[in-house]
Amino acid sequence: MMEATRDYMYGKIHRCTVTDAELHYVGSITVDPVLLKAAGILPHTRVDVVNIANGARLSTYVIEGPPDSGVICLNGAAAHHFSKGDLAIIMAYEQVPVSQIPGRTSRAVHVDGQNRILSVDSHVTPRLEDLGLPENNRYAQVFI
C-alpha cells in the first residue's frame, strides 16, 4: 500500500507587482528567473496565483522571463483577472508523502515594488505533536 500524499507549498513569491497582463499569448505566467530561483520554482511547473486587489485565484504554469527584469506577466486567459500594478502571490506546490512533511522547509520570497528581493524566509513544518507550541505560532504575522 502506498503512503498518502499531501500538496505542500514549498515556495512562494509574496506580494509581487504584476508588470503586465498579455491576453493574446498562449498562456501561463512569465516570471523573472531570479525570483524563481529564490523560491525554488522551476519553469513549466504549476503554480497558483492570487490577485490581492480583487481576490482572483487561478492555476497556471510558469515560464521564465529575462533575468533581473522584475517581470511578472499574466498571459492568455489569466490576463482577464490581473492588471498591471496589481499585487499578487505566486505559490508552488509539490506532492509529498505525509511522513516527509514534518521538518520540510517552505520558502517565502519578499519583494519590493519593482519585484527586487528584500528577503527570503524559510519556515520548517512542525510535527503534529508540536502544533500549539509558541514557536510555531504565526498568527497575525504581518508581511509588508
79 marked among binding-site residues: no
Residue 101 DSSP SS3: coil
Alpha-carbon distance 13 to 70, whole Å?
12
76 marked among binding-site residues: yes
77 marked among binding-site residues: yes
Alpha-carbon distance 57 to 80, whole Å?
12
Q: Which residues of 9-34 are buried (b: 16+ CB within 10 A; e: fewer)?
A: ebbbbbbbbbbbbeeebeebbbbbbb
User: Would you name the residues annotated as active-site residues?
Assistant: 28, 61
60 marked among binding-site residues: yes
Alpha-carbon distance 59 to 50, whole Å?
9
Binding-site residues from annotation for substrate: 60, 76-78
